[in-house]
Structure 1
């Protein structure tokens, strides 16, 4: 078990934090949010993947440009000022951005402008240059990533498999010429990554000092147009001629979609020969080692893909006509444990879960997920009902980034009236009681070792504030919280409920007893 005692926390992506610069970032608002969590007795902060996102893919953090790089949009302008890389006056020239939504088309050019200005200050001579040199020497993934991004710019955003053949197939002569031609852009993108990870380490250290543990999110799959698929094509099911995926990832028809979900990610060649499997496992070791440096725990999205995965021919328009294929299974994780030590992983085990998936999860000791929005659509044997949690080694959520908000779910026409009635009866809800607090109390009261509440549910917000609608590829990932909603009264109430259900950190419990 990777979670000791009873704890709770909040799910909020970095981009949703308050900021006057159009998108949440790693600066003062992130540290202030850590302070709020600590004051409210919360021990965990969970967020979505930190990877660079693509305008062409609607800036989805689950379709990132890299499995290793950080998202430049999350870099804090204020921290750049603190480090002497920007004049403070430049921040006054920022446009007026919405405090409720991320307008990516407006934020992206402005962030690029200030990062270019910071880079100009840096190359003119800056005390951070020695630290920068150590960073680029230590990060083995960096050269492939910066070349990929610079070529992406040069090719006007075209996916790598549409580039000239020499670049797409990574012919040495073509790559050498590109490195020479794009040398300044390569240095710029190295600098951006250096700044991201410098700011990230500062935030992680601050969270640790305040007793807040960070939960990262690791998508099992990569975007087809990503640095790693370009750099390691032999690890994926790609057509040798077109370099495009022959089969793609997804899930069959389920709760979210009658046609299933055709994600479009290329699949790993788990069934390749011994040499391919050896390289693939070594790549996964590097990926997880990198992630464990950034966060205290890692939620692996679509964990069931390690037991078996839904393989859809790339020619299919939806995910209905796929097939289940065996994944790498337990032996793969045992070898990872041997290489990396204990694996601080939360298994996302939602959807169509078989006994074989549960056996794999339990053999590894990974906590699975319980989502309360799924608890009321059947009978008393529903596995998401708190009285059916067989053991405490699990994480209970009122909802996830893929769900509607609790309030949105309750008032949605898609939610069955019988499910709403079962919720009210189960929660012993009083007339007029805010439904989101019923969900929160059920989560906190459960035996689950950890309870995670999306911030939208803590605030009691409706469907217009949900983060993502699965099966759609436009208009997601934009919600932000305005600072006035993060009130001291709200956090005091959360702390009170957290204490009542015995989820305060031990140091807070001791302080309460002394009082």
Structure 2
């Protein structure tokens, strides 16, 4: 579908200030939404909201459906009467520009346990009715997820195929026994998901009431150590013991001589098709409920994906396999009625990928940082954009605009200066101006670029396993943004949207 001419900012909730070591869904999130409304922006793009696993990456999750419970705001729990102010105050941490996940998780576990106990003991009737409705409406993924998390904790977070065989293979007696054995932990996990849903729904409504659309993010692949693979092994390339057989990655290219071996189990697309793609339909329906639009990560994998034997150490030995293509998206369209999707079509894009994207009128992505490594035919230069696309100065995987400029070659710096008719000292604002004035229907910029931050504030460096997903801003940093400059560019580029979400 086509989107209105508009603009917005990219920032994940963990990057909000917050008082408990990481950002969450509390008041600071609303202050950010107020900033968007005040400047005339109508898009808030986020990263996946699912529970994070190794390295705190939102792209490595224990579930494709569950919410990251560590985004639950303790302050909002105080307002609901589930916590006391004196209980939360002792865990407050001075706001820094890096998340302190270890301290945050430890303190939040304590606070959430107290709040959960009070909910079950003293929760009011309406809350418990809403809780019952939530469990019923989400039973198709929630019941498996809460048991998975209880077992994961019991087995010291080892992958599910290393648990005791009976529960790893979901034998009927074992499922019943473990649900009884972990009854208290399961109740706790149910409440965490309910409270996350309550807080997120409230925050999304706050945004929508201010004509701001929330753009979510859906990774194509899921983690092997996830409730999804454990509960649905028939849909994934795993053997009878749960071991991965075929995994995802990308082949060698200019950036990597051995390719990238991601290790996610590949889908058994034939099995999924025979089942009417029910798991994928449920996944998209869930995402369209919690977000207004979705960025689909690694979109090219739906046209063709790189298949590697799980025993390989690199992605060098693999082959391209045809993906589900139009059959999947036509099914989703038939089931959902409308599919507001942004296709992450970066990297080597084939004609097949372009045809699949354009067949369903999905906008692709144009990254301004990629525009200056060749000549005037570069597809990332704004004068080459189609209207139906989304332009970014950079994404969560890129350096900040200033970081890019300070570290790129002199040749690219020169092309950027010539193209922007500037000295490069405010390249972040030059890139924002290019994106705003382009024909692209949507223009989205990382919050770091509005703040004029250097490369020490980037969110992620692909291919590295530590030191990522840490960036946060302080309230002072948000306050220093030149809001009049944003308003002026929005008015100049006709990106002010007056209609409701």
Query: What band does the TM-score fall into relative to the shorter chain?
Result: over 0.9
The answer on 1:387 being equivalent to 2:383 is yes
TM-superposed CA distance for 1:418, in Å, is 1.2
Give the alignment's Cα RMSD to 1 decimal.
1.5
Query: Which residue in the other structure is 2:67 paired with?
Result: 70
Which secondary structure does the structure 1 equivalent of 2:247 belong to? strand
Please give the alpha-carbon distance, in whole angstroms, between the structure 2 residues aligned to 1:364 and 1:411.
Answer: 39
Please give the alpha-carbon distance, in whole angstroms, between the structure 1 residues aligned to 2:276 and 2:403.
Answer: 41
Query: Which residue in the other structure is 2:489 paired with?
Result: 497
The 1:306–1:489 alpha-carbon spacing in structure 2 relative to 1, beyond 3 Å, is closer
The 1:280–1:224 alpha-carbon spacing in structure 2 relative to 1, beyond 3 Å, is farther
CA contact 1:306–1:328 (8 Å) conserved in 2: yes
Query: Which string of whole-angstrom CA distances, capped at 9 and with x for unpartnered residues, describes residues 182-221 of structure 1?
Result: 0011000000000000001100111011111100000011
Number of residues paired by the alignment?
497
The 1:137–1:231 alpha-carbon spacing in structure 2 relative to 1, beyond 3 Å, is same
Which secondary structure does the structure 2 equivalent of 1:215 belong to? strand
Query: Which residue in the other structure is 1:452 paired with?
Result: 444
TM-superposed CA distance for 1:281, in Å, is 0.4
The 1:65–1:280 alpha-carbon spacing in structure 2 relative to 1, beyond 3 Å, is farther
Query: Which residue in the other structure is 1:479 paired with?
Result: 471
Q: Structure 2 matches for 1:125-204, cutoff 5 A?
A: 125-127=122-124, 128-140=127-139, 141-204=141-204
Query: Which string of whole-angstrom CA distances, capped at 9 and with x for unpartnered residues, describes residues 209-241 of structure 1?
Result: 111110000001101100001000010011224
Please give the alpha-carbon distance, in whole angstroms, between the structure 1 residues aligned to 2:7 and 2:2.
Answer: 14
TM-superposed CA distance for 1:279, in Å, is 2.7
Please give the alpha-carbon distance, in whole angstroms, between the structure 2 residues aligned to 1:70 and 1:457.
Answer: 28
The 1:39–1:305 alpha-carbon spacing in structure 2 relative to 1, beyond 3 Å, is same
Please give the alpha-carbon distance, in whole angstroms, between the structure 2 residues aligned to 1:39 and 1:416.
Answer: 37
CA contact 1:255–1:351 (8 Å) conserved in 2: no
Q: Structure 2 matches for 1:198-217, cutoff 5 A?
A: 198-217=198-217
Which secondary structure does the structure 1 equivalent of 2:308 belong to? strand
Query: Which residue in the other structure is 1:512 paired with?
Result: none
Deviates more, 1:41-50 or 1:499-508: 499-508
Query: Which residue in the other structure is 2:339 paired with?
Result: 343
Deviates more, 1:86-95 or 1:247-256: 247-256
Deviates more, 1:142-151 or 1:463-472: 463-472
TM-superposed CA distance for 1:459, in Å, is 1.1
Which secondary structure does the structure 1 equivalent of 2:435 belong to? helix
Please give the alpha-carbon distance, in whole angstroms, between the structure 2 residues aligned to 1:466 and 1:488.
Answer: 18
Please give the alpha-carbon distance, in whole angstroms, between the structure 2 residues aligned to 1:31 and 1:95.
Answer: 19
Please give the alpha-carbon distance, in whole angstroms, between the structure 1 residues aligned to 2:81 and 2:2.
Answer: 40
Query: Which residue in the other structure is 2:77 paired with?
Result: 80
Which secondary structure does the structure 2 equivalent of 1:58 belong to? helix
The answer on 1:246 being equivalent to 2:257 is no
Query: Which residue in the other structure is 1:264 paired with?
Result: 263
Query: Which residue in the other structure is 1:108 paired with?
Result: 105
Q: Structure 2 matches for 1:8-27, cutoff 5 A?
A: 8-27=7-26
The answer on 1:332 being equivalent to 2:328 is yes
Please give the alpha-carbon distance, in whole angstroms, between the structure 2 residues aligned to 1:420 and 1:36.
Answer: 31
Please give the alpha-carbon distance, in whole angstroms, between the structure 2 residues aligned to 1:253 and 1:405.
Answer: 26
Deviates more, 1:183-192 or 1:494-503: 494-503
Please give the alpha-carbon distance, in whole angstroms, between the structure 2 residues aligned to 1:159 and 1:420.
Answer: 46
Which secondary structure does the structure 1 equivalent of 2:56 belong to? coil
Query: Which residue in the other structure is 1:396 paired with?
Result: 391
Please give the alpha-carbon distance, in whole angstroms, between the structure 2 residues aligned to 1:461 and 1:488.
Answer: 12
The 1:419–1:327 alpha-carbon spacing in structure 2 relative to 1, beyond 3 Å, is same
Q: Structure 2 matches for 1:343-362, cutoff 5 A?
A: 343-362=339-358
Structure 2 runs not aligned, ≥5 long? none
Structure 1 runs not aligned, ≥5 long? 509-515
Query: Which string of whole-angstrom CA distances, capped at 9 and with x for unpartnered residues, describes residues 471-493 of structure 1?
Result: 11111111101110112652222
CA contact 1:289–1:340 (8 Å) conserved in 2: yes
TM-superposed CA distance for 1:277, in Å, is 2.4
Q: Structure 2 matches for 1:80-99, cutoff 5 A?
A: 80-99=77-96
Deviates more, 1:90-99 or 1:226-235: 90-99
Please give the alpha-carbon distance, in whole angstroms, between the structure 2 residues aligned to 1:319 and 1:8.
Answer: 37
CA contact 2:370–2:380 (8 Å) conserved in 1: yes
CA contact 1:222–1:265 (8 Å) conserved in 2: yes
Please give the alpha-carbon distance, in whole angstroms, between the structure 2 residues aligned to 1:25 and 1:85.
Answer: 17
Which secondary structure does the structure 2 equivalent of 1:249 belong to? strand
The answer on 1:225 being equivalent to 2:209 is no
When normalised by structure 2's length, the TM-score is 0.97
Query: Which residue in the other structure is 1:419 paired with?
Result: 412
Please give the alpha-carbon distance, in whole angstroms, between the structure 2 residues aligned to 1:454 and 1:214.
Answer: 14
TM-superposed CA distance for 1:84, in Å, is 1.2
TM-superposed CA distance for 1:255, in Å, is 5.8
CA contact 1:257–1:471 (8 Å) conserved in 2: no
Query: Which string of whole-angstrom CA distances, capped at 9 and with x for unpartnered residues, describes residues 412-468 of structure 1?
Result: 1xx232111111111111x36411111111111110000000011111111211111
Which secondary structure does the structure 2 equivalent of 1:396 belong to? strand
TM-superposed CA distance for 1:317, in Å, is 2.1
TM-superposed CA distance for 1:380, in Å, is 1.1
